[in-house]
Amino acid sequence: WATASTPSPSPPSGLCSPPPPPPLSIGSDQVRCRGFDLTFPPISLQPVGEAGADRARAHGRRISGQTSLGIKAANGVVIATEKKLPSILVDETSVQKIQSLTPNIGVVYSGMGPDFRVLVRKSRKQAQQYYRLYKETIPVTQLVRETAAVMQEFTQSGGVRPFGVSLLIAGYDDNGPQLYQVDPSGSYFSWKASAMGKNVSNAKTFLEKRYTEDMELDDAIHTAILTLKEGYEGQISANNIEIGVIRADREFKYVYKVNYAVFTAT
Amino acid sequence: MSRGSGAGYDRHITIFSPEGRLYQVEYAFKAVKSAGVTSIGVRGKDSVCVVTQKKVPDKLLDDTSITHLFSITKYTGLLATGLTADARSLVSQARNEAAEFRKKWGYEMPVDVLAKWIADKAQIYTQHAYMRPLGVVAMVLGYDEEKNAQLFKCDPAGHFFGHKATSAGLKEQEAINFLEKKMKDSPQFSYDETVQIAISALQSVLQEDFKATEIEGRCCEERRPC
């Protein structure tokens, strides 16, 4: 079922296999630890138990990523993000911040774009491997778990840094609509509605006021846009946000045409 | 008592600083500027043009051997701004990758796929401690069968975007300001106009007229080798 839309070359090998050891101390018996010798500075535990993961999580919040959010409605999930490009010279069709991991799971991020691409690629492969093994499409919880495990690995392994992204993974499977947020530390939770990035506290307050348990998806889309509009610096329009939805038909889709009245309404 | 300073390694390898910055990546951007060269790229309706300065530091040098422009395949070019050694390494790997792609899949590697590959490689260097980021901003250009003229810019941080026009190097910001004014209404330039805009952007930013020997450029057009 899942065919890659563009056949992409295999990821550079540095990500999947132990990298060659750095040219360091000569003559010593270098103990290999995941391909690195222990003279190389690993992520160390900071005093008072503040582990690298904590810092990663803190950084995930402090990293001034563009605001993104997700809302789980009764009959679907919507995820949205602002898409602010560094210059009008940038071709906006070349940038897609919301990506699908499988036909029924989509993801949006706040933080570092390059790190996000790596995670998307890895997650897609994991989903495909799951299907190959079990001949069943991967449940949302399992994909979230495996993605989070990758992120956690990078907080504990030597010679690498944590991923500078927080992810919002939205999917629809046999357990209904689901929304998960994964932090740089690798911890994840299921959310009814969540926001990440620069404007997170205002956005979450706004969402808390507006969220109801029996929300319909179209209301949720409306609320998502209004929440983005709250914290948006400048003029919001259909060209500088991205919205993705998944309904009971279990197909993750982008929303391209939105009723413009939403943007001008208060 | 170094809870705030992160064991001091955050300037030497790419791990996060307490404020959430990657110093090595920032230094890589500075290295790009240190080459002292500015490059411009412009995408027209069905052609792409890049130009860059050609600075020959010594008259005894053989100036035919000095170049920042490289072919990756017959149909794709790469303009590398920054450290030339890193540029050559990147070009060599990109050529290999494009050739393998052609062999494996039976068609030429599209420009955006190549740009993504370069950017993903750059991202690895920002995340793994064993390699430093490359001090190169790569502008990849070519003509794609489906998407017409393409111009992509990949930087040491692993970002890559498609551009209507862009710049890299020492006077990057001034050039982008100039180009933003020209491209404001998304004009569709012809081949000649594209070349003209690129060269005049470089001239206006560096505030000098060029002799033909002082700049080098490359254009990609439909169905013609670059």
pLDDT, tens digit, 9 for 90 and up, residues B180-215 = 998 888 888 899 999 999 999 999 998 877 777 788
> Quick one: pLDDT at residue A14?
38
Residue A38 falls inside a structural domain = no
Residues 6+ apart with CB under 8 A from A194: A69, A70, A168, A179, A181, A204, A207
Query: Which among A19, A50, A95 has CB closest to B130?
Result: A19
Q: What is the DSSP letter of B58?
A: -
Quote the number of domains for chain A.
Answer: 1
Q: What is the pLDDT of residues B130-157, one digit of tens each?
A: 888 999 999 999 988 888 889 999 999 9
Residues 6+ apart with CB under 8 A from B49: B41, B42, B141, B194, B195, B197, B198, B217, B218, B219, B220
Residues 6+ apart with CB under 8 A from A56: A155, A162, A163, A183, A184, A185, B16
pLDDT-flagged residues of chain A (< 50): 1-63, 264-266
Collect all residues of chain B within an 8 Å Cβ-Cβ radius of residue A118.
120, 123-124, 127
Domain that holds residue A190: 60-262
Instruction: Tell me if B163 and A14 make a contact (CB, 8 A cut-off).
Output: no
Q: State the maximum Cα–Cα separation within chain A, in Å, rounded to a whole number.
A: 71
Rg (CA), chain B: 18
Judging by DSSP bridges, how do beta strands B76-82 and B69-71 pair with one another? Answer: antiparallel
Collect all residues of chain B within an 8 Å Cβ-Cβ radius of residue A85.
161
Chain B residue nearest residue A90, CA to CA: B163
Instruction: Tell me if B152 and A94 make a contact (CB, 8 A cut-off).
Output: yes
B29 confidence band (pLDDT: 50, 70, 90): very high
* Count of CB pairs separated by less than 8 Å, A with B: 128
Chain A residue nearest residue B153, CA to CA: A90
Query: Where are chain B's structural domains?
Result: 23-221
Residue A257 falls inside a structural domain = yes
Q: How far is A89 from chain B (nearest CA, A)?
A: 5
* DSSP codes of every residue in chain A: ----SS--PPPPGGGTSPPPPPS--SSS-PPEETTEETTS-B--PPGGG--HHHHHHHHHHHS-PPPEEEEEETTEEEEEEE---S-TTEEGGG---SEEEETTEEEEEEE-HHHHHHHHHHHHHHHHHHHHHHSSPPPHHHHHHHHHHHHHHHHHSBTB----EEEEEEEEETTEEEEEEE-TTS-EEE-SEEEESTTHHHHHHHHHHH--TT--HHHHHHHHHHHHHHH-SS---GGGEEEEEEETT--EEE-----THHHH--
Per the prediction, chain B carries an average pLDDT of 89
Residue A30 falls inside a structural domain = no
Chain B residues 113-172 with CB within 8 Å of chain A: 113, 116-117, 119-124, 126-131, 152, 157-159, 161-166
* pLDDT: which is higher, B4 or B146: B146
Residue A246 falls inside a structural domain = yes
Query: Which among A14, A43, A59 has CB closest to B20?
Result: A59
> Quick one: pLDDT at residue B76?
93
Instruction: Tell me if A89 and B131 make a contact (CB, 8 A cut-off).
Output: no
CATH code, domain carrying A203: 3.60.20.10
Which amino acid belongs to residue A9? Answer: P
Chain A residue nearest residue B157, CA to CA: A114
Interface probe, candidates B24, B113, B117, B130, chain A, greatest A C-beta count within 10 A: B130
> Quick one: pLDDT at residue A63?
43
Compute the distance between CA of residue A65 and CA of residue A226 in angstroms, rounded to an integer.
Answer: 19
Class of domain B23-221: alpha beta
